[in-house]
C-alpha cells in the first residue's frame, strides 16, 4: 500500500531546516475524496470544515493511515516520541491555511493533488515549495508556514513532539 523510496536517506540531511523530498513514497492504493468524506462522517467530533478545507484529526485511528504513520515513524527511528496524524483536504483551490507555526516537527505527505507551501525565513521573506503526490515536506518545529492548494488535494500531516 505505502512504500518509502529507500534510496533517499533522510537521516543524512540537516533536519534543523525545512526539507523537500520529491518522490519520497508511493501509494499502491489511492486515498480519494469518497473515502475522505467517509472518514469525515465517521469522525465528526474530531473533524472540521472551514473555508473549503477539511481537517480530520487523530487520523491514525484508521488502519491504513496508521500503517503509513508507523512505516514513516519506523523509518525515521522516532517511535518513542508523541505522534499525531491529521488529514487535510480541500475540494478546490480555496482551502488555504493562514500563516502559522506548529509546536512539533511536521512531516507532510501529499497523497493527491498539488499544494504550494510558503515557508517563512523572516517576517517578509519566504520560499515556496510545490508538493504533489508522492512528495514529502519536512517542517521543523518553530518554522512559520502557510498553504495554497492548486486544486483538490489530500495531505497527511504527521506531527512528532
- φ/ψ of residue 75, rounded to 5: -60, -40
**pLDDT per residue over 114-160, tens digit each?**
999 999 988 789 999 999 999 999 999 999 999 998 988 889 999 99
Cα dihedral 37→46→50→115 (10° resolution):
-70
pLDDT of 35: 58
111: pLDDT strictly greater than 80: yes
User: What predicted TM-score, i.e. pTM, was given to this entire model?
Assistant: 0.84
What is the mean pLDDT of the segment spanning 29-49? 56
pLDDT of 47: 55
pLDDT of 146: 93
Give the whole-number percent of the chain exceeding pLDDT 70.
80
If one compares 110 and 12, the residue with the highest pLDDT of the two is 110
pLDDT of 92: 74
Grade residue 16 by pLDDT with cuts at 50, 70 and 90. Answer: confident
38: pLDDT strictly greater than 80: no
CA distance 83 to 80: 9
Topology of the domain covering 18-160: Jelly Rolls (2.60.120)
What is the mean pLDDT of the segment spanning 50-79? 76
What is the mean pLDDT of the segment spanning 6-32? 81
Residue with cell string 470544515: 49
CA distance 94 to 151: 8
What is the mean pLDDT of the segment spanning 97-123? 91
Amino acid at each position: 500500500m505505502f512504500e518509502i523510496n529507500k534510496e533517499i536517506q533522510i537521516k543524512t540531511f540537516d533536519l534543523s531546516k525545512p526539507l523537500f523530498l520529491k518522490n519520497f513514497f508511493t501509494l499502491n492504493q489511492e486515498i480519494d475524496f469518497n473515502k475522505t468524506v467517509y472518514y469525515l462522517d465517521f469522525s465528526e467530533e474530531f473533524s472540521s470544515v472551514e473555508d473549503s478545507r477539511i481537517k480530520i484529526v487523530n487520523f491514525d485511528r484508521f488502519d491504513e493511515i496508521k500503517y503509513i504513520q508507523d512505516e514513516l515513524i519506523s523509518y525515521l527511528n522516532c517511535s518513542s516520541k508523541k505522534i499525531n496524524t491529521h488529514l487535510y483536504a480541500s475540494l478546490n483551490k480555496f482551502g488555504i491555511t493562514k500563516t502559522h507555526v506548529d509546536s512539533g516537527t511536521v512531516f507532510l505527505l501529499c497523497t493527491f493533488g498539488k499544494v504550494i507551501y510558503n515557508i517563512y525565513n523572516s517576517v517578509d521573506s519566504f520560499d515556496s515549495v510545490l508538493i504533489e503526490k508522492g512528495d514529502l515536506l519536512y517542517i521543523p518545529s518553530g518554522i512559520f508556514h502557510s498553504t495554497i492548494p492548486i486544486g483538490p488535494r489530500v495531505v497527511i500531516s504527521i506531527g512528532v513532539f
